[in-house]
Amino acid sequence: MKESSTNLTRRAFCAASAAVALSAAARVRAAEPKRGPRFIDVHTHLGQCWNHTRPLTADGLLKWMDEHGVERAVVMPVVSPEASSYPLTTDFVLAETKPHRDRLIPFCVVDPRTAYSGKRHGLKYMLQRYVDQGVKGFGEHKPGVPIDHPGSLELYAVCGELKLPVLFHLDDQRNTDEPGLPGLERVLTAHPDTTFIGHGPGWWASISGDVRTPSDLGSYPTGPVAAGGAMDRLLGKCPNLFGELSADSGSGAIGRDKTFGRDFLVRRADRILFGTDYLSPGQAVQQFDVLRSLDLPAEVEAKIARENAIRILALEA
Ligand SMILES: [Zn+2]
């Protein structure tokens, strides 16, 4: 049906008014100082991770970063069969990030059950090849073995020698441990020169003192945090230990008890890094809102958002 000229005129007027209102709002926004910190996201993936997620391209990741004030992002391979539906190799990550190394930071990973010759020397040679191609860390370390598996101990030792921080995922199936995280404690004590960055349900459930069974390390607890969390205790004891906020386990652990969560981030401001686990176009990410809702002191927010990542991953400031 043809539209009457009166209707067309009215619509044109409404559109013009909206444009005036929009440009006024834009002027207000332009006059405001830029709010919120710039972020370095220490946990993203490219390609297709899961059979239920969509592939993420480097351009897609960069666009999402621009929309959320993320200046740089760590891109991690995943090769262990328990870590993803599809293996995403270090060589893939190196190739995908190569045109964007000013913003995309590659990590490397080797499964602890991988066959190699030459013992520790052979393993070091394998990782040195990746260091020579620009990787800044090791991860995502997510194999379906105990956290102190003999093959992993070799990897932790070599990562210490090469100054590669190890970003690990801990739950009830990958890097398994007992309540209280005694396996992780053995690892940290045996490798004081290796930097470890914890992530995942088991890591974050252990912010609270009420983890009772190994399967609790695979849970996403809600409600108040109980005193005596093993992860918090290990952060106090081991200076080579850090944590990152990615995935629902990270945002959930801080958001489940915001009084404790805020106090934890202020106390551990030098030890926690910002991360999301963004891996699929359009994925919901809670970390920005959770951090904003805590109204953290500006210096705490700046450390968590980017300064700790620059220091721990030895990035350019
Ligand atoms: Zn991940």
Percent of the chain whose pLDDT exceeds 90: 88
Rounded Cα distance between 121 and 17, Å, is: 71
Rounded distance from Cα 68 to ligand 1 centre (Å)? 19
**What phi and psi values does residue 13 have, to the nearest 5 degrees?**
-65, -45
What single letter denotes the amino acid at residue 295? D
Assigned fold of 34-312 = TIM Barrel (3.20.20)
Paired residues of 141 in beta bridges: 168
- Give the Å distance between the CA of 234 and the centre of ligand 1: 22
Who contacts 301 (Cβ-Cβ below 8 Å, separation ≥6)?
37, 291
CA of 288 to the centre of ligand 1 (A): 17
* CB atoms near residue 27 (< 10 Å): 10
- Say how many Å lie between the CA of residue 95 and the centre of ligand 1: 19
Closest of 306, 278, 309 to residue 36, by C-alpha:
306
DSSP string, 173-238: SSSB--TT-HHHHHHHHH-TTS-EEEESHHHHHTTSTT--SGGGGG----SPPPS--HHHHHHHH-
> Which residue bears the tokens 């963004």?
278
């500006």: which residue's tokens? 298
Distance (angstroms) between ligand 1 centre and the Cα of 121 equals 28
For residue 82, the CA-to-ligand 1 centroid distance in Å is: 12
DSSP β-bridge partners for residue 196: 166, 241
Centre of ligand 1 from the C-alpha of residue 268, in Å: 22
**244 touches 291 (CB < 8 A):** no
Residue with tokens 């609790």: 216
Instruction: Quote the ligand 1 centre to 44 CA distance (angstroms).
Output: 6
Ligand 1 center to 104 CA (angstroms): 15
Q: How confident is the model at residue 36 (pLDDT cuts 50, 70, 90)?
A: low
Q: Residue 29: pLDDT above 90?
A: no
Contact 240, 188 (CB under 8 A): yes
- The per-residue pLDDT for range 120-131, each reduced to its tens digit, is 999 999 999 999
Residue 119 CA to ligand 1 centre (angstroms): 28
* DSSP 8-state assignment for residue 255: H
**Annotated domain spans of the chain:** 1-32, 34-312
For residues 196 and 271, what is the distance between their CA atoms, to the nearest angstrom? 11
Confidence of residue 37 (pLDDT cuts 50, 70, 90): confident
User: What's the gap in Å between 292 CA and the centre of ligand 1?
Assistant: 23
Percentage of the chain lying above the pLDDT 70 cut: 89
The mean predicted confidence, pLDDT, of the chain is 91
Ligand 1 centre from 141 Cα, in Å? 9
Report whether pLDDT(32) > 70.
no
Q: How far is the CA of 7 from the centre of ligand 1 (A)?
A: 53
Residues 6+ positions from 165 with CB-CB distance below 8 Å: 136, 137, 138, 139, 159, 194, 195, 196, 197, 242, 312, 313
The tens digit of pLDDT for each residue in 189-208 reads 999 999 999 999 999 999 99
pLDDT at 16 over 70: no
CA of 250 to the centre of ligand 1 (A): 12
Residue 140 CA, ligand 1 centroid: distance in Å = 6
Model confidence band, residue 164 (pLDDT cutoffs 50, 70, 90) = very high
Give me ligand 1 centre to Cα 255, in Å: 20
CA 229 distance to own-chain centroid: 21
Q: CA dihedral defined by 166, 171, 175, 176, rounded to 10 degrees?
A: 150
Q: How confident is the model at residue 315 (pLDDT cuts 50, 70, 90)?
A: very high
Q: What's the rounded Cα separation, in Å, for the pair 26 and 285?
A: 26
- What is the H or E stretch that residue 138 is in? strand 138-141
Separation of CA 114 and ligand 1 centre (Å): 20
User: How far, in Å, from the CA of 43 to the mean position of ligand 1?
Assistant: 6
Evaluate whether 106 touches 97 at the Cβ level (below 8 Å): yes
Residue type, 267: R
pLDDT value at 26 more than 60: no
User: What separation in Å is there between the alpha carbon of 139 and the centre of ligand 1?
Assistant: 9
CB atoms within 10 A of CB 286: 17
Instruction: Determine the distance separating the centroid of ligand 1 and the alpha carbon of 21, expressed in angstroms.
Output: 42
